[in-house]
Amino acid sequence: EVQLVESGGGLVQAGGSLRLSCAASGFTYNDYAIGWFRQAPGKEREEISCISSSDGSTYYVDSVKGRFTISRDNAKNTVYLQMNSLKRGDTAVYYCAVDRTFGARCPVSGPTDWGQGNQVTVSS
């Protein structure tokens, strides 16, 4: 069974930091890019970051560039999203996802599997 289990969300003040983790199991983790998505209330889900499987190349949406850092620990089958200088606009439910059909490279354009979602709330 494919599983993506997220952890690390919560409530933080603006300017603070959080680190999200996405632990993967049930598939050959090293063969696939992993993406982080978020969905804010009333908005569409968007991919904000991704890390490829082949060369570790990364993708960031403009709104998080310079503040968020994605990384992966292949020994632990885990992808991390370090979020610094958080803003109220970062408040959302965050998901990790994988595309096990075509998905070695970024972006993860057609996710086949999703994590359960993790709430991040940034207060002023």
Distances (CA, A) of 124 to 9, 10, 86, 121: 17, 14, 10, 10
Mean pLDDT of 60-76: 96
pLDDT score for 13: 98
Cβ contact 98:53 at 8 Å:
no
Higher model confidence: residue 100 or residue 54?
A: 100
pLDDT score for 25: 95
pLDDT score for 55: 86
